[in-house]
Structure 1
């Protein structure tokens, strides 16, 4: 694919649709609105274009993108549950959003995840309902099947070659009686498997590349980068315009048909609150007007806790990084009585330990890591503005480990990973334990988890879909009580699925466009 060019079109006073945020959901909405109608679309992105940037395109270079110029630089607030540590939460600030800086995993979890959404009052969001939209996203290397799509905007491939650290995970899992499966995006996700990646020909395939680059030359699409949205204009109960910065000046651009928010689970609720849409008590505390009382804005924050990581000494140098530095994954149950997998682990071709663990353990020399996390986490938190200014401070609290059953499951995850590295499959790699440096007691394992607890970067749920008092959007993704305002990102997720959130957020964007176009 030739390197695209971002046209510099003049900013008009009004468009049919304005999409705010160009990440997984926003890119999908913008593309489908252009493809499926004659509408004019303005796509507003606060970050840069990020086109033809080597560190974005190179799958092996993704880790340093967090805390780079392409990241918002957010943190989770410390709590005693994680021993007072601040946990970084990378969020993409570039065309393509977090899909341009993430680990490129394409993974949608288990069908039961979406059936749970329907059971929670999200009509039309069962797995049967959402599967066609997942398939619509995909250009799967294996072609179309009952569960997979082909010809869609996002290229999805297995790694052509597995690093020995990734290969050993498959054999070691089989030794522990964890099944080895062909595809985690099939009928079930339980087992060890090569991962699915948005990588093709050795390069990242972001939402920008898949959804936006092919339509940048369409005259009905205006992509405005470097523009921060600071508020919405609501007139007679309808969102009619977006206030945003252009070259440091406030512009108000109107939308004739609708505004779609896709800023992600942090900045979508922030923009709503800055616009007077949220909990009245919170808005009054910040000195903001109450335009619409929606107490659920910023609540129900969910993420998957990740123990980062168990580190092991290697018998020999591991060689150059293959793919994104991982390659495989395992999904398994912390208890046989569970209806679906709740634990997840993945290999790392090097040291991926949290800073606190690096202080506590000697990890010098050649090492490899296994990250272990919980995908059916029960702990929930919140997002709270500390200022009514557009770029004011914000408190983001996932409440990791607040629920005892989350901690219990993570103990089993760490214990399993320690056993995994000692299986015969790792015999040519494993030269001993580094962090932890020996098998631990239960209480020691809990302390290890508190020191190593990090995030999968799967923040979601802060503008949850549903029918109750705390719901923010309805089952067609319309904001309750405000006309012309749709949300199309991970903030609408009511219950966190057992997967990376890029795929669900993309599916949500596809559905939002279908609702707007009247095709669903």
Structure 2
């Protein structure tokens, strides 16, 4: 995958010179490559540590289950032992392939609440209120339902409805209504609260990663150069100005020079790691690993947040779950044929068919819990489905107070960093998860679900008291794969980037990905990251013109 031309790049075997270097070809990086190259005036180098997106399971929606533990396309990180989860380490899959996590994620298109962005603005981040970011969500979007006040058409990113409505998922919406949670046909419209179907980043039953939606069209321009299996070693500086990247590819160390800017889009784990490796981070940490301190920036790697989820598993008396399709050779073959012929059926399932957003306390201004409903069940995502007919639903606290950190363990870029999330560290977080699970149980026991429930498998009806629920959260809580805020935007002493995503105290360097979020959004993070990259592209091009 290479769209370079001799006229737009000066390159030798070891040196490359372009206008913009983007580190990380993920949800943000592919957007930047597309938008910065669109005029034909600027040359772009896109570096990706992983391979091209050739794995067949990337392109089949349900294939995310096959990619959880696929180390060829996945960083497969682990947290340090989590005190709030009985000392367990939590698996942290992140995309290491063209498209990044948009190539291996659960495909849900959820923007978060209007209030999230207004809160960012109120924290002093001018230009990041809901009214400011909505145009960029619309610009990115090609909404199959057509244009509206909240949605756009004609953008690179396809946003589609389910191609496999199933009776379990329908019943969940009805059950939510029976427990007082209204039906909501658009979680990304006027309000988020309610229960309904999730929309997905798919087109015609195939995954639409940013590599597919943004990068492939950009490569036709001829001014984008992509280097895969290229692990960034460090950012190169002249004084306090970023001028390039040193990267390792096929055993050789190479350098690339940026005439205009270096843009770090490596995600909430790899972006702060690269800054720390480059001498930008907490001075004591850098000195500990023998790294010369270019800028003492204590906020780099601080304020890590993630969404935790806790699942409930139900046994179903009817053989209509994905478990029944996958565990029966004939039905499994039919499922494959249905997808091959029509791009429909269970192979189009996202990591949540339907869901709900609700408040654990009616005094709250907006929902604090998200439910992901799945017509299948397993002990852990990415592992074998249960042998019985089963389905699951998980509680996710939307705005956790707990904060963690990302710290390098070595000056060697190939050594994974120390990830500490501190799940369930505050009373608010513990209470929200317990109350959310109690409400979810009511939903799963509502009349609409009765024909589909034999028994509650996990945690089981013996879990009744708040103490028992909390113990279950500690035993079974895991990630929903939404790490953010490790290079957060703001004006305070620990803020890493300003409102234009420029690294404070340095020149020619921006961070553009989930790490810049001032705090965690109320929903899945992929759509917001794409929005951030769309907005950043306009800022970069505007600054280049001026």
Q: Which residue of 1 aligns with 2:483?
A: 459
Alpha-carbon contact 1:363-1:435 (below 8 Å) kept: no
Unaligned runs of 5+ in 2: 6-10, 326-345
Query: What is the distance in 2 between the residues matched to 1:497 and 1:149?
Result: 21
Equivalent residue number for residue 128 of structure 1: 131
1:471 matched to 2:473? The reply is no
1:392-444 deviations in whole A, cap 9, x for unaligned? 24210111000111110101111112111111111221111101121522111
Secondary structure of the equivalent of 1:450? helix
Partner residue of 1:352 out of 378, 384, 394:
378
TM-score, with structure 2 as normaliser: 0.90
Task: Indicate yes or no: 2:88 matched with 1:64.
Answer: no
2: CA distance between counterparts of 1:313 and 1:139? 38
Q: 2:147 corresponds to which residue? A: 144
Match of 1:335 among 344, 361, 367: 361
Name the residue aligned to 2:331.
Answer: none
Structure 2: distance between partners of 1:246 and 1:353: 37
| 8 Å contact kept, 2:2–2:224 | no
> Is 1:411 aligned with 2:434?
yes
Tell me the TM-score normalized by structure 1. 0.95
Between the two proteins, the alignment pairs up a number of residues equal to 510
CA distance in 2 between counterparts of 1:506 and 1:138 reads 10
Q: Does residue 1:516 correspond to 2:540, yes or no?
A: yes
What SS does structure 2 have at the residue aligned with 1:228?
Answer: strand
Q: Is the 8 A contact 1:170 1:193 kept in 2?
A: yes
Deviation per residue, 1:204-248 (Å, 9 max, x gap): 111111001112232111011110001011102100010001221
Conserved 8 A contact 1:464-1:473: yes
Partner of 1:344, secondary structure, is strand
Q: CA deviation at 1:60?
A: 1.3
Tell me, yes or no, if structure 1 residue 202 matches structure 2 residue 225: no
Question: Does residue 371 of structure 2 align to residue 376 of structure 1?
Answer: no
Matching of residues 230-249 of structure 1 within 5 Å? 230-249=233-252
Post-superposition offset of 1:160: 3.0
| 1:398 matched residue in structure 2 | 421
Alignment of 1:15-26 (within 5 A): 15-26=18-29
Secondary structure at 1:420 match in 2: helix
SS at match of 1:407: helix
Partner residue, 2:118: 115
CA distance in 2, matches of 1:142, 1:350: 27
Q: Deviations over 1:143-170 (max 9, x none)?
A: 1211111111110011033222211111
1:31 has 2:31 as partner: no
Matches within 5 A, 1:172-187: 172-187=175-190
Deviant stretches of 4+, over 3 Å: 5-12, 352-355
Match of 1:312 in 2: 314
Alignment partner of 1:427 is 2:450: yes
Answer whether contact 1:303 1:460 (CA < 8 A) is retained.
Answer: yes
Tell me the equivalent position of 2:267. Answer: 264
Q: Distance in 2 between matches of 1:409 and 1:278?
A: 33
Residue 78 of structure 2 aligns to a residue in which SS?
Answer: strand
Q: Which residue of 2 aligns with 1:297?
A: 300
Change (3 A) 1:32 1:7: closer
TM-aligned CA deviation for residue 354 of structure 1: 4.0
Give how far 1:384 is off: 1.2
- Deviation, 1:353, is 3.4
The match for 1:250 is 253
CA distance in 1, matches of 2:205, 2:378: 22
**Which range moved further: 285-294 or 6-15?**
6-15
Instruction: Note if 1:499 corresponds to 2:501.
Output: no
Secondary structure of 2:38's counterpart equals: helix
1:92 equivalent among 95, 108, 112: 95
CA distance in 2, matches of 1:444, 1:373: 18
Contact 2:242–2:262 (8 Å) recurs in 1: yes
Residues 37 and 517, structure 1, Cα contact 8 Å, conserved in 2: no
> Comparing 342-351 with 183-192, which one deviates more in the overlay?
342-351
What is the alpha-carbon distance in structure 1 between the residues aligned to residue 283 and residue 83 of structure 2?
30
CA distance in structure 1 between the aligned counterparts of 2:472 and 2:297, rounded to whole angstroms: 39
Verify the 8 A CA contact 1:301 1:460 in the aligned structure 2: yes
Q: In structure 2, do the counterparts of structure 1 residues 160 and 40 end up closer, same or farther at CA, with 3 Å as the change threshold?
A: same
TM-aligned CA distance change 1:133 to 1:325, over 3 Å = closer
Q: In structure 1, what is the equivalent of residue 47 of structure 2? A: 44
Structure 1: which 5+ residue stretches go unaligned?
Answer: none
Q: What is the match of residue 480 of structure 1?
A: 504
**CA distances 1:320-341 after superposition (whole Å, capped 9, x unpaired):** 4352253111000010000010
Asked whether the 8 Å contact 1:181–1:193 carries over to 2, the reply is yes
Quote the Cα distance in structure 2 between the aligned partners of 1:477 and 1:284.
26
The answer (yes or no) to whether the contact 1:311–1:363 under 8 Å persists in 2 is no
Aligned to 2:340: none
